[in-house]
Chains A and B, each alone.
Chain A
Amino acid sequence: MATEGGHGPQTSGDYIQHHLQNLQICKLENGEWAWNQCAGNPMAINVDSMFWSVLLGLIFIVLFGNAAKKASPKKPTKFQALVEIIVDFIDSSVKDTFHGKSKLIAPLALTIFMWVFFMNLMDLIPVDWIPELSKMLGMATGYEQLYYMKVVPTTDVNITFGMSISVFFLIIFYSIKNKGLSGFLAELTLHPIAPTFKGPGILVAPIIIAFNFILESVALLAKPLSLSLRLFGNMFAGELIFILIALLGYLQLPLHFGWAVFHILIVTLQAFIFMMLTVVYLTLASEEH
């Protein structure tokens, strides 16, 4: 628990607030770049989230890229065997769901799974370690803005939204690619109530189409929204509980351990769910139903 900080005496509220605040950078109205004065600025960037997210993504890329580069079918190293287990697991999960041929979906699933897994895993590092280190580093180097440091990227809704929006565009892309633009629009407008174009029914057809469109658009938009909010909600809640436990003094030790053990499950499960739902959504987008 951080009781002494550079910014005056801390209450529990301050402590929690400190842990939930991103390190942000944005351009002020006067044209200057400023740190941590960006509340409500839509062009602000959460530097800590981006830093850790990209770092963890790079760790994934380097680890797996290395294994892929040295991959030999005859003499696999132990690390290659581990990577192959993961790859094979992802491959079989994808093949169970997605029956078409796509060069993108399996690597996409692997990247999402490992990346989200690594980002979630940051939650298991005790909540004060990296923020305190960052604070000390900031003090030592004069970059006082490093006072704020959120280390779990998936507890930042921007990060999860950033991923689910990419998935959302992929869903639309796959829908149009496999069903054509007309097929995609038909799916949006001719379900779930089929309008009639014969006889007097044609009079109500526009109303039905408008109704269908609203319904289907909500269903379509709910996909990325639920995808990102599920991950964000789970990780944010987990992180918050870690922060609350950290406020408890010595009692935190057994509690922290218990919650961390439980969190291992959530970390893996949420990564898997994010990956699996992505695959399912893309499958739905590319198959007639």
Chain B
Amino acid sequence: MDINATIIGQSIAMIIFVWFCMKYIWPPLMEAIEERQTQIADGIAAGEQGRKKLDNANIESKKILDDARKQATNILDQANARATEIVSDGKQDGLKEREHQLSLAKNDIEQETNKARDELKEQVSALAIASAEKILGREVNEESHADILDELARKL
């Protein structure tokens, strides 16, 4: 149990071990631990950021969807309005066309009527002349009596 030179040997051994630990063991281990710690912190931060981004994207997509819905409603309204407009325009056009056709038909009828009347007049005047010839027994000179005939025709 005496004190002896073992003390010196142990001190030297301790100095060497501590020096070795200080030089080659502690720094790389600490470095690894700290690097992992920063990596974990970075990972958590990145996750947080990702979540924030996702939230933002969700809000954005909702906004876009709302806009699109609004636009669709607008377009639908416009289309409806346009459709009614087109229908009413068509109606009006149809009415106009009908009127037009109607007036054309009326003109035609009138012309036909006039034509028929003129023909009738001529035939009546010819008939009148013929009957007059028969009555007078002689041929009426058309040229010399043209004025009478014309007057007659006009009266008819």
Contacts and interface: CB of A to CB of B under 8 A. Distances in A.
A46 B105 CA distance: 143
B20 A163 contact: no
A94 to B, nearest CB: 11
A61 B29 contact: no
A65 interface: yes
Contacts of A159: 6, 10
Interface in A88-111: 88, 91, 103-104, 106-108, 110-111
A107 B25 CA distance: 8
Interface in B1-55: 1-11, 13-15, 17-18, 20-22, 24-33, 35-36, 39
B18 A107 contact: yes
B10 A53 contact: yes
Interface in A3-40: 20, 24, 26, 38-40
Given A107-B22, A162-B14, A71 B28 contact: yes
A24 B9 CA distance: 13
A49 interface: yes
B22 A108 contact: yes
Contact of B22 (A49, A67, A103, A162): A103
A84 interface: yes
Contacts of A157: 1, 3
Q: Decide if the interface of chain B is mainly helix, strand, loop or mixed.
A: helix
A210 B17 CA distance: 39
Contact of A158 (B6, B15, B36): B6
Contacts of B14: 57, 111, 115, 162-163, 166
Nearest to A160: B10
A196 interface: no
Nearest to A69: B28
Interface in A149-166: 156-159, 161-163, 165-166
B13 A54 contact: yes
A192 interface: no
A140 interface: no
Given A44-B4, A68-B28, A104-B22, 13 more contacts: A26-B4, A42-B5, A44-B2, A49-B6, A57-B17, A61-B17, A64-B21, A68-B24, A71-B29, A74-B39, A106-B30, A162-B9, A162-B13
